[in-house]
Structure 1
Amino acid sequence: MDGPVDLLVVGGGINGTGIARDAAGRGLSVVLCEQGDLAAATSSASSKLIHGGLRYLEHREFRLVRESLAEREVLLRAAPHIIRPLRFVLPHHDGLRPAWMLRAGLFLYDHLGWRPGVRSRLPPTRTLHLRTDPAGGPLRPLYRLGFAYSDCWVEDSRLVVLSALDADERGARILTRTRLAAARRTGDLWEAELEDTGTGRRTPLRARALVNAAGPWVAAVQALLGRPAGRRVRLVKGSHIVVPRLYEGEQAYTLQNADGRIVFVIPYEGAFSLIGTTDVPVSGDPAAVTASAEETAYLCGVVADYFERAPTPADVVWSFAGVRPLHDDGSADASAVTRDYALDLDGPADGQEDGAPLLTVHGGKLTTFRRLAEDALAKLLPRLGRHAAPWTEGATLPGGDIPGGDFEHFEAETARCYPFLPPAMRHRLCRAYGTRIARVLGDARSLAALGRDFGGVTEAELDHLRREEWARTGEDALWRRSRLGLHLDADARADVGAWFAGERAPAPTPASVRPG
């Protein structure tokens, strides 16, 4: 067996890929294994927001909101192609929180993330008179007062893929469709076996440290490792529905509900509106969750309280659900459970006989993944006898090095370089790949040069996703690397699936995994 790697990360969601990226950038040899596709579970089933968490202020989670707001600025600079500012309209509901409370909370929200020398790129809150402001147009006439505030939208699953890609390019090994089959401590090492979920083939691996970032499966991995569950994790399902676009304009809406929750209505994929989310405690297999009829009716009902033209369950064109593995803080209400994270490290400092450390990740959210990774490395590096400074705060993600973060200018330059691209396709490609768009298009000088067009996605792009981004199926390409599944008809989706089935190259399955 070859020499050990420094770090084995279990879980290919946002936290696992973020930790792998940070560690690889500090010179550690890293292997990440994911039993399915990258972002196949929770990390592709979010509300697609990089935000401070306005409603967390009510639960006095000021540190979490402050950290999240600071990270919002960091991530906007790091990935201006997949992250963009989004303006939210918060109508005042006479029967719920008073207007002064909303304005005070928004004032705090505007200023809590302030840091010396860092100027926010997002406009501040302003008061809206909804009877005259265009933002009030879709709303029922009884809503007269509102507020507009700023947060950011993100393509969540691409954030995961780009983090994995950055880790890979810095030397990490990213093994999708590979599960941790067994692991045990032997002295100062973890002796593990990784199993290809397609072939059943097992690969031995030794690692100096192991990270359990399995999200909803964190307790199952702890059990596999023979370790106590440790902190309690509460599994909470969040469901979203997608309907034909409810209104013109690029603003989103934040809708209060009498049960204390809020529901977002967000422009989505040009032709649609995304509505979510719910908070429903669940048990059982996290991979089997779906949006229930009750959740769909609930979301439609909240929108109906505010919008003149409200959706019905019959309007839903797609729905999705994900399980959030929240750190259980004892809250009776699932929606009040903290979105903060907790990191548990066991090893010799905790009285264990064997020294190989195990770091277990509980909770977390998209916005704070980079900070979580920094905190994880701060715990792991001393145990590994390594010293390396944090580096990710000023780094861009792949494709994010757009000069000045000026996406509009970048897209205009792309139009000059590739004048044959239809505008909608060009915009989507610029958003998805940023400055790496040439890796998809190559030296093509016509649309035909990109190969077969499946209805907005070409063979050249599918080949790039297969070759560079670990896509192995049509679902990987159409629902996680993109959301093209919403735009293609059933025949086109089947054709993309058939293309992968016929063209797919098998994932590498080496006899052993070598250090990076």
Structure 2
Amino acid sequence: MSLRRTAISRMKNGHVDVLVVGAGINGAVSAAALAGRGATVALIDRADFGGFTSQESSNLVWGGFKYLENYELPLVFGLCKSRNRLMKAYPDNVKEISFLATLGNTAPFKPWFAALGATAYWGIGQFGTKPPKLYSAEKLEAVEPVIDTTSARGAVQYQDCYLVDNDSRFVFSFVRSAIEAGAAVANYVELVSARREGDRWVCQLRDTDSGEEFTTTARVVVNAAGPFVDELNTAWGLTTDHRIVYSKGIHLIVPRLTTTRHNRVLAFFDDTQRLFYIIPMGRRSVIGTTDTRVDDPHTQVTDEDRDFLLAQINARLDLPEPLTHDDIIAERSGVRPLVVRRGGSDQTNVDWTSLSRKHEIERDDARGVVTIFGGKLTDCLNVGEEVAEHVESLGIPLEKDLRNWYGEPAAATRKEFYRQARLMRLDSLRTKPDTEPLTDRLWRRYGRRAFDLLEMIRADPTMGEDVMGSADYLRAELHTAAEHEMVVTLDDFMRRRSKIDLVVRDRDILGSPGLAEVAGILFGDAADARLADYVASKTAHA
């Protein structure tokens, strides 16, 4: 029986201490923290893990340099502290990276003032990164030749972090942690209804893949539905002090614009004096993000969005040819759930970008509900710890927090993996230019499970072959995903367990002779149907 079916079987007519609804970053860390401290936990999502807001981020783990503009010092301090914790806990996944911010005619600050802010930011971050630097326009041209310095007054370089792999993969690491701590976890399971009976919630759930419905009871429900938290609370008759409003952000993924020798983020102020970035993603660059108020959490990239970002970037880079729509490999569009207080301003008369990105957590003692409003990838560990405190206040006994529910395996385990990989000459299996060593990639993605991949390759060398050419994914990785990563649709794998959909053009994916084998390994007898669904979705999007 598959890992997912086993989890659903455990949920049927079962009772747990906590049911977590929503498996984005907030729900995943909540489940991991609670299960890691001994609570019985069920985690569900009506779609895939990290499949909505958490798959549309900038892949950055940062303290929020731009929040200094609004004097949100406590927020910046907390985020920097969280960033430093994540760097330490995930040294192979969360990497320090330079942000090179060009100060041109559209920048609201002079270079010296921005450098002062960067120095303050470095101090607020407890000097956890390399120190900032100030560059003149002349020096900037030498440091990063791709930047058009015609109107540049100078630049400042400061440090933050980014996720080497994609955001959904990072979310899934917490899902795995919850599973390993004993949680029952399933994607594509929706909450149909919930009612409070005595001291527990009776929850009607539906497996959206099979259509089967079943019941689970829980003493506490954690509402981690991201942009949909208000919708759930309204259905339950709950009144909260906070609510969610939406800011739409988009990213365009194009061929790499900067040299791979210098892995840095380029930052610019657009014509409206808002920051946007060029973020490295392997052999690609990610341009974004925009910040637009919307009323619906379901968003898409429009021609207006594309034209705006392309115009902004073409005006600030010295490219051989201007970027056009044809250069766009993939796109991302999502909303930031921003927290505002009920009964206050409707935010129509304030600067939209000034709204805080901080999270809020509310607890309803009478009903046994914890609601998470807002949040960021950077702040995820704090969210998990705070949710655990609230759940404990609702009468669920928890064990002492040993902080073993997050982080990469111990350094000694990593050293042993690298030793074994070196003995079997793992990195010699590939010779592609501008790609990282296999040893680094497999360890970062799989941790202790990477040893199993070595065993597969030792037993069958074809397991070390790339299945889809430019996708850079080994046959052994697909078998691991099929067994351990709850892949229900082909999109789950292509977009979230991996980032193939983000770095390979749709026409190249659909034309790859390896795509059918990918589906076959992941789904067995159901491969044809899953592949047809995926192709149909791609065709509809086009």
| Pairing partner for 2:118 from 103, 106, 114 | 106
Residue correspondence of structure 1 range 129-144 to structure 2 within 5 A: 129-132=136-139, 134-142=142-150, 143=152
3-state SS of 1:278 partner = coil
Residue correspondence of structure 1 range 394-473 to structure 2 within 5 A: 396-397=406-407, 399-402=408-411, 414-419=421-426, 420-422=428-430, 424=435, 426=438, 427-445=440-458, 447-450=461-464, 453-455=467-469, 456-473=472-489
1:274 lines up with 2:274 in the alignment: no
3-state SS of 1:141 partner = coil
Contact 2:53–2:335 (Cα < 8 Å) also in 1: yes
Letter paired with 1:481 = R
Where relative contact order (Cα < 8 A, 6+ residues apart) is larger, the structure is: 1
3-state SS of 1:219 partner = helix
Q: Hey, what's the Cα distance between the residues in 2 that align with 1:421 and 1:221?
A: 50
1:217 lines up with 2:228 in the alignment: yes
1:53-75 Cα shifts (integer Å, max 9, x gaps): 11111111111111111111111
Contact 1:138–1:307 (Cα < 8 Å) also in 2: yes
Which segments of 5 or more consecutive residues in structure 1 lack a partner in the other structure? 349-355, 506-516
Q: Hey, what's the Cα distance between the residues in 2 that align with 1:483 and 1:182?
A: 34
1:292 lines up with 2:299 in the alignment: no
1:307 to partner: Cα distance? 0.9
Q: Hey, what's the Cα distance between the residues in 2 that align with 1:265 and 1:411?
A: 32
Q: Hey, what's the Cα distance between the residues in 1 that align with 2:300 and 2:398?
A: 44
Partner of 1:325: 337
1:104-129 Cα shifts (integer Å, max 9, x gaps): 21111101122xxxx72x21101223
Contact 1:89–1:135 (Cα < 8 Å) also in 2: no
Aligned length: 487
Q: Hey, what's the Cα distance between the residues in 2 that align with 1:217 and 1:396?
A: 26
Contact 1:473–1:500 (Cα < 8 Å) also in 2: no
Partner of 1:59: 70
Q: Hey, what's the Cα distance between the residues in 1 that align with 2:406 and 2:411?
A: 9
Contact 1:402–1:410 (Cα < 8 Å) also in 2: no
Residue correspondence of structure 1 range 345-364 to structure 2 within 5 A: 345-348=363-366, 356-364=367-375
Q: Hey, what's the Cα distance between the residues in 2 that align with 1:473 and 1:401?
A: 33
Distance 1:91 1:413, change over 3 A: farther
Q: TM-score, normalised by structure 1?
A: 0.88
3-state SS of 1:444 partner = helix
Distance 1:343 1:261, change over 3 A: same
Contact 2:482–2:523 (Cα < 8 Å) also in 1: no
3-state SS of 1:58 partner = helix
1:300-333 Cα shifts (integer Å, max 9, x gaps): 2222232112523332111111122111265433
Q: Hey, what's the Cα distance between the residues in 2 that align with 1:405 and 1:73?
A: 21
Partner of 2:311: 301
Distance 1:273 1:141, change over 3 A: same
1:101 to partner: Cα distance? 2.1
Contact 1:10–1:34 (Cα < 8 Å) also in 2: yes
1:443 to partner: Cα distance? 4.3
Distance 1:3 1:477, change over 3 A: closer
Letter paired with 1:459 = R
3-state SS of 1:274 partner = strand
Residue correspondence of structure 1 range 141-220 to structure 2 within 5 A: 141-142=149-150, 143=152, 145-154=154-163, 155-220=166-231
Partner of 2:132: 125
1:377-431 Cα shifts (integer Å, max 9, x gaps): 1122021152533333x7643x44345999xx97686344443531547143333
Distance 1:361 1:101, change over 3 A: same
Distance 1:192 1:462, change over 3 A: same
Letter paired with 2:52 = A
1:499 to partner: Cα distance? 4.4
Q: Hey, what's the Cα distance between the residues in 2 that align with 1:168 and 1:319?
A: 31
Letter paired with 2:132 = T
1:131 to partner: Cα distance? 2.4
Residue correspondence of structure 1 range 471-510 to structure 2 within 5 A: 471-485=487-501, 486-487=503-504, 489-492=509-512, 494-495=515-516, 496-497=518-519, 499-502=521-524
Distance 1:2 1:479, change over 3 A: closer
Q: Answer with 421-430 or 231-240: which moved more.
A: 421-430
Letter paired with 1:374 = E
3-state SS of 2:429 partner = coil
Q: Hey, what's the Cα distance between the residues in 2 that align with 1:172 and 1:279?
A: 36
Partner of 2:377: 366
Partner of 1:251: 264
1:22-56 Cα shifts (integer Å, max 9, x gaps): 00111000000111111111111100000001111
1:191 to partner: Cα distance? 0.7
1:316 lines up with 2:322 in the alignment: no
Partner of 1:39: 50
3-state SS of 2:332 partner = strand
1:376 to partner: Cα distance? 1.4
Which segments of 5 or more consecutive residues in structure 2 lack a partner in the other structure? 1-11, 528-542
Letter paired with 1:442 = E
Q: CA RMSD in A?
A: 2.6
Q: Hey, what's the Cα distance between the residues in 2 that align with 1:36 and 1:69?
A: 31
Q: TM-score, normalised by structure 2?
A: 0.84
